[in-house]
Every structure is written in structure tokens, then in C-alpha cells.
């Protein structure tokens, strides 16, 4: 009996202390919850942290960072800009260019030396927003700060990657292979290389080889590598795969730096009939003022879908694309920040277009498909590809000159420029994406095809491309200052001085020749101008549709810029 009473006392004692502990825990939890709610009230200021764990970044202004936080995932250094890749938590809205400062730290210093506004900001994806900063002084590191939190900058972070050797994009194809886009392999153009010299690796930290997954390389050519994807990568949840990177190991050289996380293509059955007969892929930089004319014209001749790869534009081209989309043109913008990667970008676009497009044309915004035969594009595609073996149509390009003009023609390029060189310079292609070789080898102007497919040359009387290459000096100088295909940071750079993408006779000096307006004029060609004026011009005002809307767009942009200054 005595022992039983003792056990009861002990039990009640334990009960008392357990109850007290629970009450105390509830009080603490309530206080914590209340303070957590305050984080999302007026006193909350999001902060930048690094995805790269470092004690130096655990404190901002002497305090621990308060969730939710924005991560700097990657930094890539270009010759004239620094790209900083951000990842947002779901609860934080995307910031604009006006919210950030680019912060520059001298070597071995924790104090910023310089603050500059970003050049631009790209992307509307919580997982992939890109802030473009001016290039940093030599040996300086670049970070970001939020203007709403002046002390919210930090140093260090994920390692910066030089652009000249980098795996920059990756996607998993419908056959479950991974396609890598790589800068710095320096392989011979238009040729397959020995796949046994390479190996794909997957993981979070490439400095720890024993934790990496490996995949055999199937093909490697130019900047594109295709490899077998490990089953453990394919079977992981999508959220985990968003954090896994993939790179390439070159035997004898080691593993290349990477910012590429494999992007899964949406799972879908291959359609019996494609949604669009004719689509177009293009890569642009600061071509907003020419895009409307290019899209409206090609819609009239038979293009149904446009894939725009934006290569670091800062001319509000996204607004033009949005307005065209609102006007029922099926057009999308894909942020593609990688310089001098037109071949890689076109291969990437071919994969995206493959499921919905029967044919895809790869042309620039200053190139217009001209049909002197008066056939429709639909008829040309059908007539030229009666044989199912035809996988590519090659179309000759005529280069037009300034045509005596010294100012940008208000009526647009097709009606404004009417004088060209006599002989075609090159060709551009319209391809069946399903007919492309699995290596995706291309040289911008044409792709390599799978065995069993062939190309045909379209007769010039049926279809040609009017390439308005040498426009008035104001446009030409901007266009060739920073080429998409032939990259030079400045006209005076000696790189690619002999390229056909440079103007003949200009060399490396951005100085307007006295006779520029009369150059490249050997043949008067008003064929496309006459057709455009007959089909598009308003009978009363004689204005072309892109003239009217271009003026409205410029007025809107002017209003936006005035409001930003306020």
C-alpha cells in the first residue's frame, strides 16, 4: 500500500511538470507565431541571401536574415556585363530594375566600393530572374542590394563563372536523353566529335566526385552534347531536379563549370497532326521597333507561330511582344542571355517547336520571305515537299542596301529599301523539326538531317529572302555593335574582322563612310514594296498598319519612361 501511494505521488508529479512544460511551449509558440505574422506586415523587408552557404553571409547588418529570402543562385561574367541569377520564394513578388543596385566589392574587402544601377532585368519566373549589371572593375566581385534595405548587400556567394567555359543550358528530351549546351569545347564546326572523350555528370557540387551521377555521352558536336540520363535523375520529383545541375567532364581536362539545371519537357503524346504548319524561330537584340512589321507581314503570307529568343535586349521588346500577343498573334518571348550562341539557341528552339510545328523557319527580324510567284507560303511548302523525304527547304538571300536613304524610313523596311546587291550572299532554311539529326548540328543557315531525309533548293522565282542587312547608318551601327552571331564588345575589337557579318570595307572602325547611303546598290528591286503597298496600305491614309501602331507604342513607352523618372 505504501509503495502504491509513492507511485501515485510520482505520477502526479510527472503530470504536473509535463503540463507546465506544455503550457510554456504554447506561450512561446504563440509569441513566435505573432512575431512571424509581423514579418509579413509593414515592418517586413525581404533580404538577399546566397544559395552558397557561408558564415559571412549569415548576417546582414549584424542580424540573421529573416525568411522569406531571395537567393543569388549564379553569377556569370561576360565581357561587357555580369549576369546575376535570382531565385525567389513563393511569397515574395518579383522586383523590378528600380528596386536593385549592383554592388561592387574590392578584393579582400567586406565594404562596397561602388553602387551602380542594373543595365536591365529579365525573366518573370520565380526560379529564374536575371539581373544584368555593368561589368565590374578588374578583380572586383559583384553582388546586389535592395534599395529598400540599404545595408542588405552581401559579399561572396556562389562562385562566379567566366563565360568562355561553361555549361549554360540543359533540357531532357522526349526520349529521356539530356541535351547540354556548352561554351568552350572549341570543337570543329559541322562535325561529330569522339563521344568517348566526354562524360556527363549530375549533382549539386562538382568538387565532390564521389557524390556525382554519371551518364554516357551519345553524341557531341559544336556546342551541343546529348547523353543518357541516369534513372535516378528521371525518377526524382520535379522540385528536387530543379536544384540538380548537369555538366560535362572532358577527359584530361576535368569538369566544366555549369549553371545548367535539366529542364523537363512537358509529357505529351506525339500528335498525329501538328497544330501549326509553319512557325518561325528568331534571336533578337534590341529589335523592338522592327518586330511589329516583321510579324504582321509574315502572318499575312502564312506564318502561324513565332518563337522569339531575346538575347539581352533593353529596348522594352517584351511590351511589343505582349501587344502582338494581345492582338492574337501567337508569339512568345524566351529569355536567352547567352552571347554568340545562335546555333545553340536555334537547336533549343527546334526542340521546343517540334511537337506543334510541321515546318520551322530560322530567319532574322531583318529578313522577309518574299514570294514573287504570288503563291502562298502554304502552297510553296506543299509543292516543294511532295516527297516525304524532303526535310529542309533552302532559300536564297538577297542583301539590300541603304537605297539612298539617310534616315529610318517611316513606312518600314520593306517599302523603304529597294536597292540590293546583284548576287545572293547565302541561304536560310525552313526545316521539319522531326527530320533533324539527333546531334542537332547546325550553322545557323541550315541543319544536318537524319538519314533518309534530304534538302531542296527553292527556285528564286518561287521564293527568296529579302535581307535588309545594310540599312541607314544609324540602324546598321547599332546592329553590328554587338552581333548575336559574331560577338564583339566594340567595333574596334579585332575579333572576327574578316567575317561576312562585318560590313565589307569597314574593317573595325565604326565611322560612317561618306558614300554609305549609296553602297550595296546594284539592282533596283521594288517587288516586295509594290506587293506590301497594294495589300497593306490604308486606302484613305495610305499608312501601313505597323506605322500606326508603332506611333502608339512609342507614345506609350514615352509615358512609361516619364513615370519612371517621377
**SS3 for 231-283, per residue?**
HHHHCCCHHHHCCCEEEEEECCCEECCECCCCEECCCCCCCCCCCEEEEEEEE
- The C-alpha cell of 483 is what? 552581333
* DSSP code for 229: P
CA–CA separation, 127 vs 77, rounded Å? Answer: 20
Beta-strand ranges (E) seen in 256-385 are 263-264, 276-284, 305-310, 331-335, 357-362, 367-370
- Residue 62's pLDDT is 32
- Going from N- to C-terminal start, the domains of the chain cover 71-160, 166-264, 276-530
**Dihedral (CA of 185, 190, 191, 195) sign:** positive
71-160 CATH fold = Immunoglobulin-like (2.60.40)
Task: Label residues 17-35 b or e (16+ Cβ within 10 Å = b).
Answer: eeeeeeeeeeeeeeeeeee
- Residue 257's pLDDT is 94
CA–CA separation, 133 vs 119, rounded Å? Answer: 5
- Indicate the helix (H) or strand (E) that contains 19: helix 2-39
CA–CA separation, 338 vs 344, rounded Å? Answer: 9
The whole-model pTM stands at 0.83
- Residue 21's pLDDT is 53
CA angle 159, 93, 52 (to 5 degrees): 20
- Residue 30's pLDDT is 40
CA angle 235, 238, 240 (to 5 degrees): 90
Residue 526 sits at φ, ψ, to 5 deg, of -105, 15
Give me the DSSP letters along 149-179: STT------SPEEETTSEEEEEEE-TTSEEE
3-state secondary structure of 346: helix
Q: Out of 3.90.550, 3.40.50, 1.10.3470, 3.30.420, which CATH number does the structure's domain 276-530 have? A: 3.90.550
- Residue 243's pLDDT is 76
- Residue 485's pLDDT is 44
CA–CA separation, 230 vs 199, rounded Å? Answer: 12
CA–CA separation, 308 vs 318, rounded Å? Answer: 10
Nearest Cα neighbor of 362 from 293, 417, 443 is: 443
Cis peptide, bond prior to residue 414, ω within 30 of zero = no
Cβ count near 275 (within 10 Å): 13
Nearest Cα neighbor of 185 from 257, 269, 87 is: 257
Q: How far is CA 45 from the centre of its chain?
A: 30
CA–CA separation, 398 vs 521, rounded Å? Answer: 11
474 sits in the region (left: phi over 0; alpha: psi -120 to 50; else beta) called: alpha
Rg (CA), the chain: 29
- Residue 55's pLDDT is 30
Nearest Cα neighbor of 158 from 76, 95, 213 is: 76
Residue 509 sits at φ, ψ, to 5 deg, of -115, 125
- Residue 264's pLDDT is 75
Is residue 159 within 8 Å of 52, Cβ to Cβ?
yes
- Digits of tens for pLDDT over the chain (566 positions)? 444 434 343 444 554 455 545 444 544 444 433 333 332 333 334 555 544 433 323 322 333 344 457 888 889 999 889 999 998 888 788 888 898 999 998 888 878 888 999 999 987 677 789 999 998 888 888 989 888 765 455 545 677 899 999 999 999 999 999 999 999 998 888 899 999 999 999 998 888 878 899 999 999 998 999 999 999 888 876 655 567 899 999 988 899 999 999 987 655 556 668 999 999 999 999 999 999 999 999 999 999 999 999 999 989 999 999 999 999 999 999 999 998 899 999 999 999 999 999 999 999 999 999 999 989 999 999 998 887 899 999 999 999 999 999 999 999 999 999 999 999 988 999 999 999 999 999 987 889 999 999 999 999 999 999 999 999 999 988 876 655 444 444 555 565 555 555 565 566 666 788 999 999 999 999 999 999 999 999 999 999 999 966 655 555 555 555 555 55
Beta carbons within 8 Å of 184's beta carbon, 6+ residues apart: 164, 165, 166, 256
The dihedral formed by the CA atoms of 466, 469, 473 and 474, expressed in degrees to the nearest 10: 90
Amino acid at each position: 500500500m505504501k509503495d502504491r501511494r509513492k507511485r501515485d505521488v510520482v505520477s502526479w508529479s510527472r503530470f504536473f511538470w509535463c503540463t507546465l512544460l506544455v503550457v510554456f511551449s504554447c506561450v512561446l509558440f504563440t509569441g513566435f507565431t505573432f512575431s512571424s505574422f509581423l514579418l509579413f506586415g509593414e515592418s517586413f523587408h525581404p533580404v538577399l541571401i546566397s544559395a552558397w552557404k557561408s558564415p559571412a553571409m549569415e548576417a546582414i547588418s549584424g542580424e540573421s536574415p529573416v525568411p522569406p529570402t531571395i537567393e543569388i543562385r549564379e553569377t556569370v561574367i561576360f565581357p561587357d556585363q555580369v549576369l546575376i541569377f535570382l531565385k525567389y520564394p513563393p511569397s515574395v513578388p518579383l522586383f523590378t530594375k528600380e528596386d536593385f543596385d549592383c554592388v561592387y566589392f574590392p578584393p579582400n574587402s567586406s565594404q562596397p566600393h561602388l553602387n551602380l544601377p542594373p543595365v536591365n532585368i529579365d525573366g518573370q519566373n520565380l526560379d529564374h530572374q536575371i539581373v544584368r549589371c555593368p561589368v565590374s572593375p578588374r578583380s572586383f566581385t559583384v553582388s546586389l542590394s535592395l534599395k529598400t534595405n540599404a545595408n542588405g548587400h552581401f559579399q561572396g556567394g556562389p562562385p562566379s563563372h567566366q563565360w568562355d567555359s561553361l555549361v549554360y543550358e540543359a533540357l531532357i528530351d522526349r526520349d529521356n536523353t539530356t541535351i547540354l549546351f556548352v561554351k568552350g569545347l572549341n570543337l570543329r564546326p559541322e562535325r561529330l566529335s569522339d563521344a568517348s572523350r566526354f562524360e556527363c555528370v549530375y549533382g549539386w557540387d562538382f568538387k565532390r566526385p564521389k557524390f556525382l551521377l554519371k551518364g554516357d555521352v551519345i553524341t557531341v558536336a559544336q556546342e551541343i552534347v546529348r547523353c543518357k540520363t541516369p534513372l535516378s535523375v528521371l525518377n526524382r520529383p520535379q522540385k528536387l531536379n530543379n536544384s540538380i545541375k548537369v555538366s560535362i567532364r572532358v577527359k584530361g581536362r576535368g569538369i566544366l563549370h555549369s549553371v545548367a539545371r535539366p529542364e523537363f519537357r512537358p509529357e505529351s503524346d506525339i500528335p498525329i497532326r501538328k497544330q501549326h504548319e509553319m512557325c518561325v524561330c528568331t534571336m533578337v537584340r534590341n529589335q523592338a521597333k522592327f518586330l511589329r512589321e516583321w510579324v504582321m507581314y509574315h502572318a499575312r503570307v502564312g506564318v502561324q507561330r513565332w518563337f522569339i529568343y531575346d538575347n539581352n535586349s533593353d529596348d522594352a521588346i517584351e511590351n511589343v511582344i505582349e501587344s502582338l500577343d494581345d492582338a492574337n498573334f501567337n508569339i512568345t518571348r524566351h529569355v536567352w542571355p547567352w552571347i554568340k550562341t545562335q546555333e545553340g539557341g536555334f537547336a533549343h528552339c527546334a526542340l521546343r517547336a517540334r511537337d506543334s510545328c510541321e515546318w520551322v523557319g530560322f530567319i532574322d527580324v531583318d529578313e522577309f520571305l518574299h514570294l514573287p510567284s504570288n503563291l502562298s507560303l502554304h502552297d510553296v511548302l506543299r509543292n516543294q515537299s511532295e516527297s516525304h523525304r524532303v526535310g529542309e527547304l533552302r532559300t536564297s538571300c538577297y542583301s539590300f542596301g541603304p537605297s539612298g536613304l539617310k534616315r529610318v524610313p517611316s513606312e518600314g523596311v520593306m517599302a523603304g529599301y529597294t536597292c540590293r546587291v546583284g548576287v545572293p550572299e547565302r541561304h536560310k532554311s525552313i526545316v521539319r523539326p522531326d527530320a533533324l539529326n539527333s546531334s542537332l548540328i547546325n550553322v545557323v543557315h541550315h541543319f544536318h538531317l537524319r538519314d533518309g531525309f534530304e534538302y531542296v533548293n527553292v527556285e528564286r522565282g518561287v521564293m527568296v529572302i529579302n535581307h535588309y542587312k545594310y540599312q541607314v547608318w544609324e540602324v546598321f551601327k547599332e546592329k553590328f555593335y554587338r552581333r548575336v552571331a559574331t560577338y564583339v564588345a566594340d567595333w574596334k575589337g579585332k575579333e572576327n574582322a574578316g567575317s561576312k557579318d562585318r560590313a565589307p570595307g569597314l574593317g573595325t572602325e565604326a565611322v560612317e563612310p561618306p558614300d554609305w547611303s549609296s553602297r550595296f546598290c546594284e539592282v533596283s528591286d521594288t517587288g516586295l514594296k509594290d506587293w506590301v503597298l497594294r495589300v497593306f496600305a490604308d486606302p484613305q491614309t495610305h499608312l501601313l498598319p505597323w506605322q500606326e501602331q508603332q506611333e502608339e507604342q512609342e507614345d506609350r513607352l514615352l509615358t512609361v519612361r516619364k513615370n519612371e523618372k517621377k
